[in-house]
Amino acid sequence: MPQDAFALAEKLSPDLSARPRLLIIDGRAVPAVSGKTFATINPATGEEIAQVAHGGPEDIALAVTAARKAFENPAWRRMSAVDRAALLFKLADLIEQNAEELAVLECIDNGKPASMTRWVEVEGSIRTFRYFAGWVTKFGGETLPVSPRSGAQILNYTTREPVGVAGLIVPWNYPMSMAAWKVAPALAAGCTVILKPAEQTPLTALRLGELALEAGIPAGVLNVVPGFGDAGAALVEHPDVDKVAFTGSTEVGKLIVRGATVNLKKVSLELGGKSPQIVLPDADLDAAAASIAAGIFFNQGQTCTAGSRLYAHASIHDKLLALVADQAAKLKIGNGLDAATTFGPLVSEEQWDRVSGYVEIGRNEGADVVTGGKRPAGHDKGFFFEPTILAGATPSMRVVREEIFGPVLSALSWTDPDDLVRQANDSDFGLSAGIWTNDIKQAHRLAGAVRAGTVWVNCFNMVDNATPFGGFKQSGWGREHGRNAMELYSEIKSVWVNLS
């Protein structure tokens, strides 16, 4: 992270406040057609950072037209794999060269500590672009040994072709890294893109668009249009968009599926989660407690994989809960620009109200607040909320069943292994799960029994560009990362050639 993040934020402030941040459409920075702007707010202070051009349906239409034109342009469509890879490597290099600026921008726009934005958002994005740059020269088709009934001599081969114009809608909890997760494989596959960042956190997406142009990526290949729900809906429903990728809530994901039927465009979704953390009586409780606390309090709990349901065996439940509470107490709450901060604010007042409301729901349902549950003392400004543990939870409670998307852990105890599996799977979601045990047989048995896209054993929240990420049930469609992500942005074509 920057040696003095406060100083860098102060240095950036005059330019941010002097003029609105503009949309990036067809290689140019442009105002919204309506002329409207909206404020983006620093979650640590509640104060305005900058005005941002308010993209709407008309701007989305212009961006789609630019992306379609760029997709049909031989300068992009016929670019060699080596040259396309070089552009992605160059973009990664530029992100690296501007890492401190991007880390501070993300910190003041999202609220998470600058050390985390540097590590997760910026370094993660660099790795993502470099990883998918490597795929460009390795992603293709194959020849297949067909056996036609006619006895004809046939050469059959497949090709991988870009799906076309891709609309990418990313959330506010990991703004830059989620953009990279989608933009990198889309460009690697040869698509053109309209990136729609969350209205709460548009700054790094716009800077990414600027760096893409600086890297030499042709005009119209990457367009960035910040806006609200009407812009997202226009992108989803536009008949000239071939694919939509979305990360966000399950409720919005369902709306996207309905909107995409206008032309049956391809859809991939990474949606909500209510991940169980399962602790067996033989587990290393100190290690488990540290990981459980990180699993729910990392990024202030604003993580789709957050381990928000704790299932601790009755014999170790109370001890484990005390250890997790000790971990929560060690978190340093404050402005993310402070190097000592390990726990920042929630992203917005709306999110603060949501989390606070769920804690009150938990109390009314009979759960006990072990720690947290309110605004921390000394943090009257901004959207700070204490790391919170609810004990005495039961499977029917809303705080156990519904995604809170905040730093709230609901703790339950268990004794019967079969009932444990039933409870862990009794959810609309299936994004991830954690298991803590020193019994290798039990670990594999539970990993196989839990319905989730990712299962961590004696660890939590580990991700890598090489391994698939996504969920079962209402946690989404498709998998990001690796070859799976490249397949999301491509079509496969079978070619038959009669050699007889």
Name residues whose C-beta falls within 8 Å of residue 481's C-beta, 6 or more positions apart in sequence. Answer: 181, 463, 464, 465, 466, 467, 468, 469
DSSP state of 41: E
CA pair distance 201, 38, nearest whole angstrom: 12
CA-to-CA dists, residue 343 to 40, 299, 331, angstroms: 21, 7, 6
Amino acid present at 495 = V
DSSP state of 298: G
CA pair distance 81, 61, nearest whole angstrom: 29
Structure tokens that stand for 51 in this block: 């005005």
State the catalytic residue, choosing from 121, 237, 304, 403: 304
Tell me whether residue 14 is exposed, middle or buried, using C-beta atoms within 10 angstroms of its C-beta: 0 to 12, 13 to 18, 19 or more: exposed
304 noted as active-site residue: yes
Name residues whose C-beta falls within 8 Å of residue 10's C-beta, 6 or more positions apart in sequence. Answer: none
For residue 35, the tally of other CB atoms under 10 A from its CB is: 9
Strands (E), 209-329: 222-224, 243-247, 266-270, 276-279, 309-313
Nearest to 225 by CA among 106, 105, 59: 59
107 noted as active-site residue: no
For residue 230, the tally of other CB atoms under 10 A from its CB is: 13
> What is the DSSP pairing of strand 388-391 with strand 432-436?
unpaired
Structure tokens that stand for 465 in this block: 């560009």
* Residues making up the chain, counted from first to last: 500
State the catalytic residue, choosing from 121, 237, 270, 487: 270
Task: Please list the active-site residues.
Answer: 270, 304
